[in-house]
Amino acid sequence: MIPRYLTDASWQELPRYEFETIIIGSGVAGLYTAIRAAESGKVLIITKKALDESNTRYAQGGIAAVTADEDSPDFHLQDTLMAGAGLCDEDAVDVLVHEGPDRVSELIGLGAEFDREDGVLALTREGAHSQRRILHAHGDSTGAEIVRALARQVVKQPNVEIWNDHFAIDLLTENGECLGALIQRPDGSRVAAFGKATILSSGGAGQLYRYTTNPDIATADGIAMAYRAGAEVRDMEFVQFHPTSLCYPGAPRFLISEAVRGEGAVLRNSAGERFMEQYHPLLELAPRDVVARAIVSEMERTKSTFVYLDITHEPREKVLHRFPMIYETCLNYGLDLTSDWIPVAPAAHYMMGGVKTDLDGGTSVKRLFACGEVSSTGVHGANRLASNSLSEALVFGKRIIDRLKELPKPDFTGLRQGAPDQITLALRKDVPMTPVVERRLKLQKVMLRNVGLVRTEEGLEKGIDELRRLTSLFESRLTKREEYEFANMLTVGLLVAVAARMRQESRGGHYRSDYPSPREEWRRHIVFHRESGTVTEPVRERDTSPMGQDEVAAARD
């Protein structure tokens, strides 16, 4: 069983700090919520690297929101539901599509500079969107621009304290309530931070896989911490593999944005044949899971390790204007986007599942909230619609902040007097272990081979067995950041594999070659809880009550 805490410590022995709000992570979700939370109290941001290092920074395509007259929230809702393959929470999607435009306007007010044409926001279209509704910045550097604007605002806030290069090891709880986090400083010492609320915004889990578009920091920390603390975790089998990452000797698996296909690029197999018409009527703009599997199918059929992305037929000026960063990166490896076919292959990109939340970002643990990729709001279902993630983070971040205004501050008197539960793991020992870098690589290979884009019962069983052999780690005394990260990856890797074995169907980002079609009886969520085990729950149907949202929420409570 996964232990409650990763390390030996006692709250009584640690230096203690108190804040109004504790935020773990510094992507769009963490930065935005910090700005808004600072309006009413002291905020702590914990980031294990630097303030501007997150998955958000690497987002290229853009942010989805209805801003054009010919578009509508209903169109956006239907596109999201279609991509989500029957597992979206329609109420959550409804919140996203109606509140997203206001949050994007707010983001612009905070200094984010999106591309414009003739003074009007420039919009593009991406896979599975029926309308051009994707705002972008500097062509293909949308995430970096959003991080720049928000980080600039954060550092101006006198109420925000930033702890760079700090690692949140575990959430501190008592009687089912989250009171803060156990944190390791850069020098290896530990402190306890307490707050009225703790917000997880720590990003995704791309490093579970050998090939990923995510940075090194995406090690599933938030999901694992929440799971150990008793939060419900949902839909872990749904991992999105981006269809087009650069696949070239000596180059990293650099993301080639879906927007490139949105602007006219086509896919060709190693024989030069365009192939998407054989797989989906939307061709290259089909949902990501469809395109990714089509690419793998062509790779297997032609015995190649890649396919080509071809935008050479579009004007050079257009390509350079829309995709300057992608163009420059490819050029560094001798590939000219305007004249060369670019070799690409799928890579792990986004975790649809995560810490289960309500419509206000609340989890099953009191005072613990989750926002961004770490969360499972119900918006994405079985397959995220392109560019919905950034707007989701803003929309639900705002809802969390509104919820915090109603949250009473806990009594920390007992904490100061040493009342909380001890973190005692007396059985842990200092034992020789295989270097973490080797164990991490083994885990990534197991996930790629057995829990990747195409899954089978036999492969999943083998993968689970191999991952369980690595769990002896939890009996050892962990002290280093890379050891905590590996423990988090192992925890979440097991959750992904077990959920994938349970779901005997194919749906969205989860594809079982032994169960190649969706099954109505599996139109359910798989929910994990560390102590009470695993359950399945039906998809929540959209609330069509004539009551207002506040009344609906009150009725649910």
Reply yes or no on whether 384 is catalytic.
no
Task: Tell me how long the chain is.
Answer: 557
Are 46 and 194 spatial neighbours (Cβ–Cβ below 8 Å)? no
| DSSP states of 296-351 | HHHHHHHT-S-EEEE-TTS-HHHHHHH-HHHHHHHHHTT--TTTSPEEEEEEEEEE
C-alpha dist (Å) from residue 422 to 7, 145, 180, 369, 529:
11, 43, 14, 23, 22
Q: Using only C-alpha atoms, what is the Rg of the chain?
A: 23
Q: What 3-state DSSP class applies to 528?
A: strand
End-to-end CA distance of the chain: 32
Which residues are CB-contacts of 548 (< 8 A; sequence separation ≥ 6)?
none
Task: For 270-285, give the secondary structure using H, E and C.
Answer: CCCCECHHHCCCCHHH
- Report CA 222 to chain centroid distance, whole Å: 10
Q: What 3-state DSSP class applies to 158?
A: coil
Within 175-303, strands assigned E span 177-184, 190-200, 233-234, 239-246, 266-268
Closest CA to 97 of 84, 110, 112, 78: 78
Are 505 and 522 spatial neighbours (Cβ–Cβ below 8 Å)? yes
| DSSP states of 49-89 | S-TT-STGGG--S-EE---STT--HHHHHHHHHHHTTT---
The CA distance from 191 to 185, in Å, is 8
SS3 content of the chain, % helix, strand, coil (to 5): 35, 20, 40
- The backbone torsions φ and ψ at residue 388, rounded to the nearest 5 degrees and listed phi first, read -80, -15
- The backbone torsions φ and ψ at residue 421, rounded to the nearest 5 degrees and listed phi first, read -60, 140
Maximum alpha-carbon separation in the chain: 72
Q: What 3-state DSSP class applies to 256?
A: coil
Closest CA to 240 of 195, 262, 283, 208: 208
Are 386 and 61 spatial neighbours (Cβ–Cβ below 8 Å)? yes
Among the options 234, 288, 384, 399, which is catalytic? 288
- The backbone torsions φ and ψ at residue 80, rounded to the nearest 5 degrees and listed phi first, read -65, -45
The CA distance from 235 to 118, in Å, is 43
Angle at 184 between CA 178 and CA 189, to 5 degrees: 125
The CA distance from 124 to 205, in Å, is 28
Instruction: Copy the structure tokens of residue 121.
Output: 């926001």
Instruction: Copy the structure tokens of residue 552.
Output: 């609906």
Which residues belong to the active site? 288
